[in-house]
Structure 1
Amino acid sequence: MTEKSMLVVSAHSADFVWRAGGAIALHKKNGYRVKVVCLSFGERGESAKLWRKGPDMTIEKVKAARREEALAAAENLGAECEFFDLGDYPLRVSDEALLRLVDVYRDVQPAFVLSHSQKDPYNFDHPLAMHVAQEARIIAQAEGHNPGQKIVGAPPVYAFEPHQTEQCEWIPNTFLDITEVWDVKRRAIECMAGQEHLWEYYTRVAQQRGVQAKRNIGITVKRDIQYAEGYMRLTPAVVGDLS
């Protein structure tokens, strides 16, 4: 039986933990291969705690700390983690990096893809990551790109939750129950020492989404959902039954 897989494209080295850690842990538990691509370490814009340690801090020291945190989180979640080290604030993606991501798609053959919201007025690195994730997906489908390689199909693309949903025009249309793996996600969250201020915030987000998930399955369904992640599916679902 062919192993199923999933791909997460993360702008910075912590994004996949806060926003998709539950999905990663749950699908790993269910036998999926999980690949995370971190386009940058978030060394300039998302590492304030590290920079405040003093004048001896350098960009390479910050990158090393962020890499260590992300690898520890990925190990907890059961994910493979690849770092492109493209820089952040601003993130810029060259054609070479884009085609490197295409190669990842063709290697992983993901059943679905997770990345950022398409808009984020507070962080332009995030929508760029989603744009690149979608563009690489399209190139990976093209028969004429590196003929002879196995092309990908049409894996659905989901935008995980941004930090300020309304400003990002992000509306969840899919809730994933992560109750059974919440303890795994929380351990991964606690690996991100450089952003400790977000630990409780994303715990509250998961609890709130859990309440909404429970509300959306109705009171007749006896299922104890305590924690969930919200996603906005960007690609159409093709079904044979609308129930």
Structure 2
Amino acid sequence: MIDVQKTALIVSAHSADFVWRAGGAIALHAAHGYAVHIVCLSMGERGESAKLWRKGDMTEERVKAVRRDEALAAAEVLGASVEFFDIGDYPMRADNDTLFRLADVFRRLQPAFVLSHSLKDPYNYDHPLAMNLTQEARIIAQAEGYNPGEKILGAPPVYSFEPHQPEQCEWRPDVFLDITEVWDKKYAAIQCMAGQEHLWEYYTRVALQRGVQAKRNVGITSSRNIVYAEGYQSLFPRVTEHLA
């Protein structure tokens, strides 16, 4: 019997979001044999590249090229593949062609799970747009009438990764993922994002804090040495045969 490699899909609004928010999950699952694929909807060329613009003598195309190179380097460190939709930034807008393109990615990958942004974010409208696009593409990929004859998508679980301001985004984690064993890879990927160096230490602190919470939730007597973790919020109920 031939084992089919499991896959995972990460939909990132901007070219660095997947690193801060899901780099550990990407590296961990890649290390465990998953084929992890990242879709970057935008390069983050307008709203998330202040350091580059401050250098002067910059154009949007030059900024996008730098951001693309950073994302490619980070994805390589994490062990994932990446593609860029380049649909704009501040504002980001998605038309039907973009929606169907993402639905086709779902069909092609048949992911075991999906990660994207929180459903709300008053600080950045691109983020909920990314999750809403992800959700709609998932539904289309499940439809028998969309490109009949293709294998339809099942029902992969969808998780929203941690936003920068969780309380204001009404984001509450119900899953903690222990990323201690791959933290060195995540931090190496973080360092690829030279255009947002101010966030390196911030997301290190987030990972340490979630590590403390994860350790607490497996019990203080657990032998697991959890130091770093990522938080996720599930969108759908978990279906299981065991509660333990």
The reply to whether TM is greater than 0.5 is: yes
Indicate the residue corresponding to 1:199 in structure 2.
200
Aligned to 1:108: 109
Q: Which residue of 1 aligns with 2:44?
A: 42
Structure 1 residue 4 and structure 2 residue 6: aligned? yes
Unaligned runs of 5+ in 2: none
What TM-score do the two structures reach when normalised by structure 2?
0.98
- Aligned twin of 2:119: 118
2:29 aligns with: 27
Q: Which stretches of structure 1, 4 residues or longer, exceed 3 Å deviation after superposition? A: none
SS for the counterpart of 1:35 is: strand
| 1:220 Cα offset (Å) | 2.6
Structure-1-length-normalised TM-score: 0.99
How do residues 64-213 of structure 1 correspond to structure 2 at under 5 angstroms?
64-213=65-214
SS state at 2:231 partner:
strand
Cα deviation digits, residues 115-136 of structure 1 (max 9, x gap): 0000000000000000000000
The gaps in structure 1 that reach 5 residues or longer are: none
CA–CA distance in structure 1, aligned partners of residues 33 and 239 of structure 2: 24
CA distance in 2, matches of 1:221, 1:62: 47
Q: State how far apart, in whole Å, the 1-side matches of 2:40 and 2:220 are.
A: 39
Moved more, 212-221 or 26-35: 212-221
TM-superposed deviation, 1:241? 1.8
C-alpha root-mean-square deviation of aligned residues, in Å? Answer: 0.5
Shift of 1:5: 0.5
Counterpart Cα distance in 1 of 2:220 and 2:49: 43
> Match for residue 234 of structure 1?
235
User: SS state of the match for residue 166, structure 2?
Assistant: coil
Distance of 2:20 and 2:221 partners within structure 1: 31
Q: In structure 1, how many angstroms separate the alpha carbons of the residues matched to 2:73 and 2:217?
A: 34
Cα distance in 1 between the residues matched to 2:126 and 2:68: 18
Which amino acid counterpart does residue 112 of structure 2 have in structure 1? A
